[in-house]
Structure 1
Amino acid sequence: MKMEMKRQLNHLLLTLLVLVSATIIVRAQDQNQNPVQWTASAAKATDGNYTITLTAVLPAPWHIYSQNTPDGGPVPTSISFSKNPLVTLIGKPKEKGDLKTTHDKNFGVDVKYYGDKVQFIQTVKVKGGLKTNVSGSVNFMVCNDHECLPPSSWKFSVKLN
């Protein structure tokens, strides 16, 4: 009887140890997940033009870098659009948000970044007013005052009607 009870107790302790270890591993992985929440939208403008808006929302203390970050610094945000014969890009993506510039001692350069929220806005022209999609990806890097996460990519697709 004592042997059976000891075996059950060992089994219970082993199960508890596995559960605690799994919880610690999951929490550690959650801390490394990218904190940026992305959304994509399209709005009809004029003469067959549309405005594509890619919005990044970040919790404090994280920030994301401008497309115009100098060489030698962190990875700048870059946006690439998939080829679509019905769609012509007009200019380059513009940035809208509270742009900050500071000297980053870790990189040794002046960096440009956004905290809280930034919008990347691209105007496109659709041939013949046809319905189509615009898709692509955003490559970006986020940091806080203590660490940077590895560069990430976010894919998007929006309908143009």
Structure 2
Amino acid sequence: MKRLLLFITLFSISAVGFSQFKDPVKWTFAAKKIADKVYEVTYTAVVEKPWHIYSQTTPKGGPVPTKFSYKTNPLLTIKGIPKETGNLQKKHEEVFGVDVQYFDNKVTFTQIVNVKSSVKTNVSGTIEYMVCNDSECLPPKKVSFDLPLQ
């Protein structure tokens, strides 16, 4: 009985401890047809205050920049990196020793995707990103997406 009580107590403590690791970023995804065989795919990150998410162009040596990786699909052509729309902040971070670029509150990444034929297919992959506030950074995280292009 004592072992069971000890187990329940330890399990409860660790559950409370792990529940503190939350993600202050909420992602939404959308795909919109803008021309014949051309789609605009948007990835929107809403970031809780006081956190911020880093730009794709944050230099090496700094925090992990946001990075989009796409699963291979022979029916799609994806060129370049998504366009960033939001209130871009630039600041020299002594901790990293580089000038960082980040977004507070909300940022939308927009990617143009060309479909090679008129068939239904999906664009899918992962977004890797990192968030920090004035006192700490959370470990980099990956989120998956899978959007139909119809």
After TM superposition, the score normalised by the length of structure 2 is 0.90
* C-alpha displacement of 1:37: 1.1
Please say if 1:42 is aligned against 2:31.
yes
Relative to structure 1, the CA distance from residue 23 to residue 35 in structure 2 (aligned partners, 3 Å threshold; closer, same or farther) is: farther
Alignment of 1:3-152 (within 5 A): 15=5, 22-152=11-141
Cα distance in 2 for partners of 1:39, 1:88 equals: 22
Rg larger for: 1
Q: Give 5+ residue unaligned stretches, structure 2.
A: none
The answer to which structure has the higher helix fraction is 1
Percent identity, please.
50
**Partner Cα separation in structure 2 for residue 122 and residue 158 of structure 1:** 12
Number of residue pairs aligned between Structure 1 and Structure 2: 149
SS of residue paired to 1:130:
coil
Distance (whole Å) between structure 2 residues aligned to residue 143 and residue 19 of structure 1 = 34
State the AA in 2 paired with 1:33. K
**Runs of 4 or more consecutive aligned structure 1 residues displaced over 3 Å after TM superposition:** 17-24
Q: For residues 42-91 of structure 1, what are the alpha-carbon distances to aligned partners after superposition, in whole Å with 9 as ceiling and x for unaligned?
A: 00111310011111111101111000001110011100111111111133
Q: Distance in 2 between matches of 1:23 and 1:97?
A: 41
